[in-house]
Structure 1
Amino acid sequence: MGGCEIVVPPGWNVRLDILPIFGEAEDERKRRDRDHDEGDLVVTGFAAFGAVSISD
């Protein structure tokens, strides 16, 4: 029943593989086109009654 904020450098490509249960998981950074599909950072897991947000 809380949340977490993950701060990453602006140039990183982040992939979220999170199952939110009564919560949310989102990348709040401004979108940029990337040359590759793989993530520099892959966040996995689940969020129950809370949120996971990515910011720079």
Structure 2
Amino acid sequence: ALMDERQVRVVEHRFFAGLTAVETAEIMGLSLPTVERDWRSARAWLARELQPVESS
């Protein structure tokens, strides 16, 4: 599954722009728990996708 657009925007703000979760929530008009949940989900997705592929 892919990340949804909101999660992508949270990653852009948190990782690339260096904003805090509170700043991201304010800019995006979201609640802090929503931003924190999206951030956790996006990080988990990225960790799975960036794992090296094992050869058989």
- Same fold, TM-score > 0.5, yes or no: no
More strand by percentage: 1
Which structure ranks higher in relative contact order (CA pairs < 8 Å, sequence separation ≥ 6)? Answer: 1
**Pairwise TM-score range, normalised by the shorter structure:** under 0.3
